[in-house]
Amino acid sequence: MIPKLFIEAIKNQAMNSEDEIYGWLIGYLKDKIPNVLAIIECRRFTHQSYIAAIPDVQSFQEVSSAMPQGIGPIGIYHSHPHGGKVFHSHTDDTTLLSLSKQFPSSISIVTNGSEINFYQMDKNRLTEIQVEFMEVPIPALITFTMREKIPITLIGKPKDSENVKIKILNQMRTFFEEIWDLITFQSNGKTLTGDMPISDFLSSNLSEKPIELKIPIQVKEKFKENLEISLSKLDTGGKVSLKKKINLNLTFKIPYYAKNSEATFKAIKEIMRVEIISNNIIQRLYMSIFKLEQEILVIPKEFYLEYFGIFLRILAFDDKTLNKKLSDKVYAFLFELLISLKTFINSDLTSRYQNFISAFLEDVKELSTQFPWDKKIKKLMNSLEKKLR
Amino acid sequence: MSFEINTIYFVNKFGSEKKQIPFPVNPDLKLLDVIPEISKKFGINSQNICIANMGGQVLTATELEMSIKNLVDKYGNSFDVIDRGGVGLNF
């Protein structure tokens, strides 16, 4: 299922490009049917010509990392420019087959600007599929939060900030993987059991009914050796070493879009493991900055932007100076999203989509105040707002 | 406490849910040596696969030739596994 508006936008993108266009279909699977909630046009390529397109890997990584668990890239689209024939080439088949092994109901859309075809792999064979054009419902979400201070002991004198950061990251990965089963889910101070269904905690908003993840004190105590980080080989030889305790302030608010409201917390916990550990804690530690002089680790915060009603996560510091490191990356990603929206503006937008776009522009405006390019991106947003009016 | 590297983590973000595979590995191996197995585990075509650090930067050919231990010291023990997803005629 895909809204007609997205088809028009994809065709518009194709008509306005001399080269092959490329983009991602964002959505979810329900009852084995892919549902498309949003599209994102790729603007960064490793290769782009009138006969081929290879998206830049970093662009995909940013798009997919920003997605909440439960919603993500479920297909791709591309064009055959200059009114070319609409078909699937051998390369397109190979790519769709590869994507289908990662996500079995992957879709591939090909257009020449006027005609458009939809493909899927069925038992490794390319199949043209029928599509229902309709507005797709956004699944309800459940929010997971954590507010923990993790006490870390650094053994030895920190000399290289990148090295310290990576050592902390590696240790935190091991720590969280080991204690994951012992972390509890709580609501209003009460522990939730694994067999409880998530239905009572579903909402349409990020801040409602959050489930708090707690690391029991005895777990922190039991695994405290895992929180000692040796900064040099000399310090592991039993010598009296310089020890410094730092607290890692881990706070997050992470949504999960649930297609099955009857799912239990036990089932969700495994699905959230990758989101919380890999896509949140570890990724944020990778982006963090260890200040050598003060010996503190500054972790980027999460900012949520509502894109077609889906909460996308951007990592940024609430400090313009620190954000210099993330500046280009965040700008490129937001630019990609804003340009994707530009192709919708000339369409006949229903109030649902007008509201989506307005909400997104407001969120971008707020986030951009943390970056040096706020004035530059404002120009693009103003032109979008004018057209929207 | 000394830290012994024996597990690296690969994350795939294509689809509605992200997936992760812990990969116990000899840290003296090159990452290049284990790519066919990673490719098989995620089902990604070996021509399309690329490995990126958590910042999204693709590991270079030189980095793939480094020992896993050195890579873990440089980028950490977590990597994204990404399908290049190219389309079109021969390129």
pLDDT score, position A238: 54
Q: Do B18 and A274 touch (CB under 8 A)?
A: yes
Judge whether B9 is closer than 8 Å to chain A, CB to CB.
Answer: yes
User: What is the model's pLDDT at position A41?
Assistant: 95
- CB < 8 Å to A70, chain B: 16-17
Q: Tell me, yes or no, if B55 comes closer than 8 A to chain A by beta carbon.
A: yes
Residues A67 and A58: their CA atoms lie apart, in Å, by: 14
List the single residue in B1, B17, B82 with the smallest CB-CB distance to A60: B82
Asked if A274 and B20 count as a contact pair (C-beta separation under 8 A), the reply is yes
* pLDDT at residue number A235: 47
Burial B5-32 (b: 16+ CB within 10 A, else e): beebbbbbbbbbbbbbeebebebeeebe
CB contact under 8 A, B13 and A287: no
Q: Tens place of pLDDT for every residue, chain A, 389 residues?
A: 999 999 999 999 999 999 999 999 999 999 889 999 999 999 999 999 999 999 999 999 999 999 999 999 999 999 999 888 999 999 999 999 999 999 999 999 999 999 999 999 998 899 999 999 999 999 999 999 999 999 899 998 878 899 999 999 999 999 999 999 999 999 998 999 999 999 999 999 987 789 999 999 888 888 877 788 888 765 455 555 688 888 899 999 999 999 998 999 999 999 999 999 999 999 999 999 999 888 889 999 999 999 999 999 999 998 888 998 899 999 999 999 998 888 887 788 889 999 999 999 999 999 999 898 888 888 888 888 887 77
Question: How far does the CA of residue A386 sit from the closest CA of chain B (Å)?
Answer: 34
Q: Which of B18, B55, B87 sits opposite A279 (nearest CB)?
A: B18
Which residue of A54, A166, A225 is in closest CB contact with B1? A225
Nearest residue on chain B to A97, alpha-carbon basis: B45
Residues 11-50 in B contacting A (C-alpha not used; CB under 8 Å)? 11-20, 22, 42-45, 47-48, 50
CB-CB neighbors (< 8 A) of B25 in chain A: none
Element (H, E) at A273: helix A265-273
Is A10 in contact with A109 (CB distance < 8 Å)? yes
Tokens in use for A305? 């932007």
Nearest partner of A76 among A18, A20, A4, A135, judged by Cα: A20
Q: Are A102 and B58 inside 8 Å of each other by CB?
A: no
What contacts B32, CB < 8 A, 6 or more positions away? B64, B65
Residue whose pair of structure tokens reads 């006027």 in the numeric block: A114
Provide the whole-model pTM: 0.94
**Which of the 8 DSSP states describes residue A281?**
I
pLDDT at A243: 83
* C-alpha span between A21 and B9 (Å, rounded): 33
Handedness of CA A129, A77, A306, A385 (dihedral sign): negative
> Do β-strands B87-88 and A52-55 pair in parallel, antiparallel, or remain unpaired?
antiparallel
> Which among A53, A106, A173 has CB closest to B86?
A53
Angle, vertex CA B40, rays to CA A171 and CA A32, nearest 5: 95
Q: CA of B44, closest CA in chain A: separation in Å?
A: 5
pLDDT recorded at residue B62? 97
Tell me, what's the pLDDT at B4? 59
How far is the C-alpha of A104 from the C-alpha of B47, rounded, in Å? 19
Joined tokens for residue B35: 């790519």
Q: Quick one: which of A173, A178, A151, A162 has its CA closest to A279?
A: A173
Residue of A nearest to B10 (CA): A278
Residue A89 to residue B42, Cβ atoms within 8 A: no
SS3 A384: helix
Q: How far is CA A43 from the centre of its chain?
A: 17
Q: Is pLDDT above 90 for B33?
A: yes
Q: How large is the ipTM?
A: 0.92
